[in-house]
Amino acid sequence: MPAIAIGSFDDSFSSNSIKAYIAEFISTLLFVFAGVGSAIAYSALTADAALDPAGLVAIAVAHGLALFVAVSIAANNSGGHVNPAVTFGLAVGGQITFITGLFYWIAQLLGAVIASFLLSFVTGGQAIPTHGVGAGVGALQGVVFEIIITFALVYTIYATACDPKKGSLGTIAPIAIGLIVGANILAAGPFSGGSMNPARSFGPAVAAFNFSGHWIYWVGPLIGGGLAGLIYPNVFISNEHIPLTNDY
């Protein structure tokens, strides 16, 4: 069973750790700016601000592409988590210490908040869209949806980026990660909002000062990411030595 490590504050303030936090901050900022920006742009270009099939596809593609880039540009310094649920899932699986993961969270949340306020400024005060469940979808259903799609995301990360047997899959990990996020948004967008990422939901909620149902986008993704962190390492790589590392 992979070892779960709490870590220490000394290790979490090494020069490499500081670089990792900066990388997470920048990548999350860029991801949220592009992802939320795509939703704002679509609303601005259409007479009806309601999400329609074309808008869903456009937003899913934008998020998938933006995450592919965000993971790629941070991978060499932080591992390219860009998501508190990913960081939590990797901590549960022994890939990062919990204390270092806490500072990842801070960097990710700050990046998302600043990206959202920047979008409000550069779009001339356009409304910042926040995540919410669709009509006829209850909070519990939204949580379950977020658990499933976040599990799929973190499971994909383990399979393509963390597994010592990954081989050539490691080179396409950011592509696979971007694709599963885009696909999950297509499936879940009209129902749960398709977040999978507490930072992606938190930044717009702060900028719009709208936290209605916001807890769904913490509870669901953290459970889903944690389950993937428990299952994949213990079922598929439990006999392998997994060093605590930020590299994937």
Q: What are the tens digits of pLDDT across the range 166-220? A: 988 888 999 999 999 999 999 999 999 999 999 999 999 999 999 999 999 999 9
88 pLDDT band (50/70/90 cuts)?
very high
Residues 6+ apart with CB under 8 A from 231: 155
Give the residue carrying structure tokens 């700050």.
Answer: 110
Question: pLDDT for 30-55, tens place per residue?
Answer: 999 999 999 999 998 887 666 789 99
| Range name among 21-25, 65-69, 236-240 with the lowest pLDDT average | 236-240
All structural domains of the chain = 9-236 (1.20.1080.10)
Taking the alpha carbons at both ends of the chain, their separation in whole angstroms is 20
Per-residue pLDDT of 139-154, as tens digits, reads: 999 999 999 999 999 9
Q: Report whether pLDDT(240) > 60.
A: no
Supply the pTM of this predicted model.
0.94
Give dist(CA 210, CA 148) in Å, integer. Answer: 25
d(CA 152, CA 234): 16
Residue 227 has which token pair?
Answer: 């389950």
Q: How many Cα atoms within 13 Å fall on the side-chain side of residue 209?
A: 0
Phi, psi (degrees; rounded to nearest 5) at 212: -65, 120
- Residue 2's nearest CA partner among 105, 100, 91 is 91
CB 116 within 8 A of CB 204: yes
State the DSSP code for 214. T
* Number of alpha carbons in the 13 Å side-chain half-sphere of residue 164: 13
Rg of the chain in Å (alpha carbons): 17
Percent of the chain at pLDDT exceeding 90 = 82
C-alpha separations of 153 from 16, 43, 81, 128, 174 in Å: 26, 27, 11, 25, 11
Mean pLDDT of 59-63: 98
Q: How far apart are CA 218 and CA 195, in angstroms?
A: 10
What's the mean pLDDT in 130-140? 96
Residues 7 and 100 sit within 8 Å (Cβ to Cβ): yes
pLDDT higher than 50, residue 14 = yes
Tokens representing 116? 């959202």
